[in-house]
Chain A
Amino acid sequence: MKDTVIVDEKQLIAKEKANNPSLLRTIWREITHDKMALGSLIILIIILLSAYLSPLYIDQEAQHRVNFLNVWKAPSAEHWLGTDDGGRDVFGQLMLGTRNSFTIGFMVTLIAGLLGLTYGLIAGFYGGKIDNIMMRILDFLMVLPSTMFIIVFVVIVPNYTVVTFVLIMSAFAWFGKARLIRSRALQERELDYINASRTLGTPSLKIMFFEMFPNLSSLVIVNMTLTLAGNIGVETGLTFLGFGLPSGTPSLGTLISFARTPDIVQNKWWVWLPAALLILVMMLCINYIGQAVKRASDARQRLA
C-alpha cells in the first residue's frame, strides 16, 4: 500500500514536469519552431565558432605586424578583405576583432547583470525605507552622463587593459537592470511563498537568491540576451570615439573607426564595411534569438 503511494507521487511529479518543462527546454522548443530564430542561431554559432577558433588558422604575431609596403590593398586571393593603413590583413582583424568585441560584450552583460540583479533583489526584497534609499541612489547614478564618465575612467586608469575596460563598462551598465529586477521583486515579495519562508525564519539572503531569484530568472535571461546585442555596439561606439580598447587590440570598433575620412568611406570600403555588416548581422541574430526567448518566458506569446 505504502509503496504504491510513493510510486504515485513519483509519477505525479514526473507528469507535472512534463506539463511544465524547464525554461531552457521551452526556449529550445520556441527557437526550433521559429525559422528566423533557428536560422539566426545557426549563423551566430558559425560566426562565433570561426571567430573563437581563429587562433588555429591565423598567426596573431604576423597579424599585428605593420608592413608599409602593403598598405590599403584591395581584396585579393591573398588578403580576402584587403589590408588596412598598416598593411595588416583585414580579414584576420575581423576575426580577432569579433572575438574581442563579443567577449567584451558578453562579459559586460554578465557582470552588469550580476550587479543589477543583486542590487534590484535587495531593494525589492526589503522594500520600504531601504528600497527608497537605494532607488534614490540609483536615480542619482542614472542622471550621470555615463559615456563621459566612462571616458574619464578610461583616461585616468593607470594600467589600461581589456579587463579594466570591461570593468569600467560594467560599472555603468547595470542601472536599468536593477530597476527592472526591483520592480518584479517588489511584486514577488508580497506572494505567499516568500511570507511563508520568512515566517519559518529562512535567512533573507537565502530567500532572495534561492527562492525569489528562480522565479525571476526568465526575466533576467530575456533582458540579458537583448542587452548583449546592444553591448557589442557600445564597445564599437567608444572605440570609434578613440576611447575604446587599448590600441593594438583589434576590435570591430577599430575597423569601423577607419571610416572617418571621406576617402576611406568612398574608396576603401573593404576596411570598414565588413565589420559594420558583421555587427549588423550579429545584432540581428541575437535579437531574433532574444525574441524567441522572450516568447518562451511568456506562455501567452508562445508559438510552439
Chain B
Amino acid sequence: MAKKQFLLLASLMLVLSVFLAACSGKDDKKTGEKEPAKGNDKGSEETKGEDAEDASAGLDFPLSVSNTAEPIEDGEMTVALVSDTPFEGTLNRVFYSGRPDAEIMTYFDEDLLELDGDYLITNNGAAEYTVSDDNKTITIKIKDGVKWHDGEPVKASDLLYAYELLGHPDYTGTRYTFTIENVEGMPAYHAGETKEISGIKVSEDEKEISITYTEATPSILSGVWSVPVPRHYVGDVMKGDLTIEELEASDKIRVSPIGFGPYKVAKIVPGESVLFERYDDYYKGKPALKSVVLKVVNPVAIIEAVKKGDVDLATIPADQYLKAKEIDNIELLAKVDLAYTYIGFKLGKWDKEKKENVTDPNAKLADKRVRQAMWYAMDNETIGKELYHGLRFPATTLIIPVFASFHDASIKTPSYDPEKAKALLDEAGFKDVDGDGFREDASGNEFVLNFASMSGGETAEPIAQFYIQNWADVGIKVQLTDGRLHEFNSFYDMVEADDPKIDIYQGAWGTGSDPDPEGLYGRTAAYNYTRYTSEKNDELLKAGTSEKAFDTEYRKDIYNQWQELMVEDVPVAPTVYRYALEAANKRVVNYSIEPGTENYRPWKWGVSE
C-alpha cells in the first residue's frame, strides 16, 4: 500500500515538473547534457590544439568581444540561462548535477586553484600549490584575504571538508571518482572504517593543506579537487550537526549559498532566476558590475530576448544559429565545445551494493556487431550539415578533437554506410525471418529496440525520427520509449535507473577538460550509463592515469588503444561534435570564452552603456 502511494506521489511529482517544463517549451540539446564528475574534469597536458582550428574551417568566430570601451561603474548585466526546464538549484559543487546549476555557481563559487588555457592548475587564483618530487603530494596554500561572503576567511579545513563529504560513506552523488579515491586513506574512510583521511593534512594556521595520493598520476595537475565547502556556514557533518542528506536538502545550499567568488547570491527565485550582487571584498579586486541577474530563458524565446536586449549574454542553441546571425546588436562567439552527442547502448545494470557496473552478457544488444551496424547506419553528416549548418560535425572517437594530443584522427571509425551495416547484421545472424521488412534476432525472435531521446530544441523530434528511419533502412525496428520524447530530467532519471524500457538512448556529455575518460566509462563510474565493462577497458583506463602516464607519449599510446577499443566494442556510438555558440550584446566588454584568459573570469565582465 505504502509503495503504491509512493508511486502515485512520485508520478505526480514527475508529471508536475514535466508539465511545467512542457508549458514553457522545449529543451535544447545543449543544456541537455550532464556534467561529468568534477574531480576528473580539468585539463591535462597540451590540451589545446590545431585540430580544433581545422575543424572550424569555413566558420570563423571570435573568442572575445570586440567592444573595448571602459566598463561603466555600477553596471548591471542580465545573463540568460538557456534551458526549458527550471534549474534544480543544488548549488554546491559536491552535490550538483545539472549544467544550469554549474553555470550559476561560476558567479559566486570558485576553485582555489585557477586553471590556465590548457586546463592546468596555476598559482594565479586564491591559492598556490607545490607538488612534491615524487609527484605524490600536492600542497595548497590559501592566499591572505580570501574570505567567504559572510566575512569568515577561507580555511584549509574547508577544503578538507569537501573531501570528507565526497568520500563519506553516506555520499550518494557521483563525484567519488578516481582522483578522490586515489587520496591516501580515502578507501578506508569511504568504507566507514575511520573518521579521518590519513592522506590529507591541514596546517596549524589553517592556511595550508597537503594531499597525498596513493599513486602518482598526471591527473593531479588537472583533476585535483580544490573547491572548498564553508564548513562553518553549512554545518558540520563530521561533528554530527546534520546528515549528508539534510545537508544536500538544506537551505544553505539551495536558497542562500555562499562562496568566495566575485558576486554573492542576493536572491534566488527557485528554478527561475538568481540575483547576484557585487562582493566588494573579492580577493582579486572590486568586480566590475554592481549586479548580475541570471534568469532561465526558454531556448525558443532566446532569439527574441537577445534581439530586444533583454539579456546580454546567452548561449545560442545551434538550431537557431541562422536566426542569431541576422541580429545586429550582438556578437557571436564560438569555440569547439567540450562535449559530444552519442547513442548509448544499454548493456547491463548498476550494482548499488558494490557500486559498480555489471554488464549483462544476455543484454539485447550484447552482440557488438549489431552495435557497430547501428553506428554504420546513422547518417550524421546530413544532420550536421543540413540541420546545424555545419555547427555540428560527425564524431569519430570518444576523445574529442579539442584534446589534440590524445584524439586519434587516424582510427577508422564507422561512417554512414548502410550496406556495411546490413552485412554486419547478416553476419551476426540477424535476419528477416517472417518477411515483415524488419530483422529478427539471431534466435529468430522479434527484435524491437526502445529508443529514449530528449525533447528539446526544434530539431529533437525530427532527429530522433531520422535515426529511427536510418535504422529501419537496414532492417532494425526501433521505436521511441513510451512513444514520445522525454523531458531532460525524467530522461536522465530513467537512463540512470537502468529503466528496462530503454535499450538505446541519445545523450550528450560535457567531457570536462581532462581527457581521462574514467569518470564516464570506468567500471565504478555511475555515469557509465551503458554499464559497459571489460577487462581491457579497466586496464587501459588505469594505465592512462598511472605514474608512467606522466610521459605524454605513453599516455597518448594508451588512449589511442582505448579509443580503438571503444570503436571496436561500441558501448556508445558518438554521433556529432559541436560548436558552442554564444551571443554577447555589443555593450558587453571584457568578455571572452577562451579559457585561461583574464577576461574569461566573471569579475572582469562589464557593460559599456
Chain A positions near chain B (C-beta within 8 angstroms): 64-66, 68-69, 71, 85-87, 148, 151-152, 155-156, 158-161, 241-243, 246-248, 260-263
**Complex-state Cα separation, A62 to B149, whole angstroms:** 61
Q: A68-B382, A152-B12, A155-B15 are in contact. Are A242 and B466 (CB under 8 A)?
A: no
Write 14 A-B pairs (CB below 8 A) sorted by A numbering.
A66-B462, A66-B465, A68-B383, A68-B387, A68-B466, A71-B386, A85-B458, A85-B462, A152-B12, A155-B11, A158-B482, A160-B483, A247-B465, A247-B484
Q: How far is the CA of A158 from the CA of B304 in the complex (A)?
A: 38
Query: Which chain B positions have C-beta within 8 A of A148?
Result: 15, 19
Since A66-B469, A152-B11, A246-B482 are in contact, a sample of 6 more A-B pairs with Cβ atoms closer than 8 Å, ordered by chain A residue number, is: A151-B15, A156-B11, A247-B461, A247-B480, A247-B485, A261-B458
Contact A247 to B303, CB < 8 A, known contacts A66-B465, A85-B459 = no
B301 at the interface (CB under 8 A from A): yes
Number of chain B residues close to chain A: CB under 8 A: 34
Interface centre among B14, B303, B469, B483 (most CB of A within 10 A): B483
CB distance from B561 to the nearest CB of A (A): 35
A159: which B residues are within 8 A, CB to CB?
483
Known: A65-B469, A242-B22, A247-B461. A261 touches B300 (CB 8 A): yes
The answer to whether A155 and B458 have CB atoms under 8 Å apart is no
How many angstroms between the C-alpha atoms of A151 and B323 in the bound complex?
33
- Chain B's closest residue to A258 (CB) is B458
- The smallest C-beta distance from B121 to any residue of chain A, in angstroms, reads 42
Residue of B nearest to A87 (CB): B462
**Beyond A155-B11, A247-B484, A248-B480, is A263–B303 a contact (Cβ under 8 Å)?**
yes
Contact A86 B461 (CB under 8 A): yes
Contact of A262 with B301 in the complex, beta carbons under 8 Å: yes
Judged by a CB distance under 8 angstroms, whether B23 is at the interface is yes
Q: Are A71 and B387 in contact (CB under 8 A)?
A: yes
Chain A contacts of B26 at CB under 8 A? Answer: 242, 260
* Chain A interface SS verdict (over half): loop
Q: Which residues of A contact B482 (CB under 8 A)?
A: 158, 160, 246
Q: Contacts A151-B19, A247-B485 given: A260-B300 contact, CB under 8 Å?
A: yes
Separation of A263 and B466 alpha carbons in the complex (Å): 23
- List residues of chain B with CB within 8 A of the CB of A260: 25-26, 300
Tell whether, in the assembled complex, residue B23 and residue A160 are in contact, meaning their CB atoms are under 8 Å apart: no
Contact check: which of B12, B455, B483 meets A161 at CB < 8 Å?
B483
A262 touches B15 (CB 8 A): no
Are B300 and A243 in contact, with the CB atoms below 8 A? no
A123 to B282, CA, bound (A): 73
Q: Once bound together, how far apart are the Cα atoms of A193 and B320, in whole Å?
A: 70
What CA separation (Å) do A131 and B323 show in the bound complex? 61
Which residues 456-473 of B have a CB within 8 angstroms of A?
Answer: 458-459, 461-462, 464-466, 469
Given known contacts A85-B459, A152-B11, A68 and B19 CB-to-CB distance under 8 angstroms: no
How far, in whole Å, are A260 and B319 apart by their CA atoms in the complex?
Answer: 14
Cβ–Cβ < 8 Å partners of B386 in chain A: 68-69, 71
Chain A residues within 8 Å of B266, by CB: none
Query: How far is the CB of A236 from the nearest CB of chain B, in Å?
Result: 15
Alpha-carbon distance between A260 and B461 when the two chains are bound, in angstroms: 14
Chain A residues in 8 Å Cβ range of B387: 68, 71
Cα–Cα distance between A243 and B19 once the two chains are bound (Å)? 9
B residues whose Cβ falls under 8 Å from a Cβ of A: 11-12, 14-15, 18-19, 22-23, 25-26, 300-301, 303-304, 320, 323, 382-383, 386-387, 455, 458-459, 461-462, 464-466, 469, 480, 482-485
Q: How far is the CA of A273 from the CA of B301 in the complex (A)?
A: 20
- Pair A66/B466 contact, Cβ less than 8 Å: yes
Contact A262 B303 (CB under 8 A): yes
Residues of B within 8 A of A152 (CB): 11-12, 15
Beyond A68-B383, A155-B11, A241-B23, whether A160 also contacts B465 by CB under 8 A is no
Chain B nearest CB from A145 CB (Å) reads 11
Find out whether the CB atom of A241 lies under 8 angstroms from the CB atom of B465. Answer: no
Cα–Cα distance between A155 and B494 once the two chains are bound (Å): 13
**Complex CA distance for A162 and B188, rounded to whole angstroms:** 55
From the candidates A65, A156, A158, A246, name the one contacting B484 in the complex (CB within 8 A): A246
Query: Which among A64, A156, A261 has the greatest number of chain B C-beta atoms within 10 A?
Result: A261
Distance of A147 from chain B, by nearest CB (Å): 9
Q: State A246–B459 Cα separation when bound (angstroms).
A: 17
A240 shortest CB reach to chain B, Å: 9
Query: In the bound complex, how far is the Cα of B485 from the Cα of A124, in angstroms?
Result: 45
Measured CB to CB, the nearest residue on chain A to B307 is A262
Instruction: Say yes or no: A86-B462 contact (C-beta < 8 A), given A242-B22, A261-B300, A262-B304.
Output: yes
Report the minimum CB–CB distance from B338 to chain A (whole Å): 26
Residues of B within 8 A of A263 (CB): 303, 320, 323
Contacts of A87 in B (CB 8 A): 462
Residues of A within 8 A of B320 (CB): 263
Sort A-B residue pairs by CB-CB distance and give the 5 closest, nearest first.
Answer: A246-B483, A86-B462, A68-B386, A242-B22, A66-B466
A residues in contact with B303, CB < 8 Å: 261-263
Which residue on chain B has the smallest CB distance to residue A248? B465
Q: Please, which residues of chain B bring their CB within 8 A of the CB of A66?
A: 462, 465-466, 469
Complex Cα spacing A68 to B459, Å? 10
Chain B residues near A247 (CB-CB < 8 A): 461, 464-465, 480, 483-485
The residue in chain B whose Cβ has the minimal distance to the Cβ of A160 is B483
Residue of A whose beta carbon sits closest to that of B299: A261
B14 touches A155 (CB 8 A): yes
Tell me the minimal C-beta distance from B553 to chain A in angstroms: 42
With A and B bound together, what is the CA distance between A65 and B15 in angstroms? 31
Nearest CB of B to A248, in Å: 7
Residues on A with C-beta less than 8 A from B466 are 66, 68, 86
In this complex, what residue of A is CB-closest to B382?
A68
Per a CB cutoff under 8 Å, which of B22, B465, B484 touches A86? B465
Nearest chain-A residue to B490 (Cβ)?
A155
CB pair A241 B19 closer than 8 Å: yes
Chain B residues, Cβ within 8 Å of A151: 15, 18-19
Distance in angstroms between the alpha carbons of A69 and B482 in the assembled complex: 29
Known contacts A68-B383, A155-B15, A260-B300; A241 and B483 CB within 8 A of each other: no
> Which residue on A lies nearest to B7, using beta carbons?
A156
Residues of B within 8 A of A243 (CB): 19, 22
Q: How far is the CB of B347 from chain A (nearest CB, A)?
A: 23
| Set of chain A residues within 8 Å of B25, measured between Cβ atoms | 260
Contact indicator B19/A85 (Cβ below 8 Å): no
- Whether B461 and A85, one on each chain, are in contact in the complex, defined by CB atoms closer than 8 angstroms, is yes
Alpha-carbon gap, A261 to B383, bound state (A): 21
Measured between C-beta atoms, what is the minimum distance from A109 to chain B in Å?
24
Closest B residue to A68 using CB positions: B386
Q: Which residues does chain B contribute within 8 Å of A248, judged by CB atoms?
A: 465, 480, 483
Q: B300: nearest residue on chain A (CB-CB)? A: A261
Residue of A nearest to B453 (CB): A247
State the CA gap A260–B304 with chains docked (Å): 12
The residue of chain A having its C-beta at the shortest distance from the C-beta of B387 within the complex is: A68
- CB A100 to nearest CB in B, in angstroms, measures 14
> Which one, A156, A242, A246, A262, contacts B455 given CB within 8 A?
A242
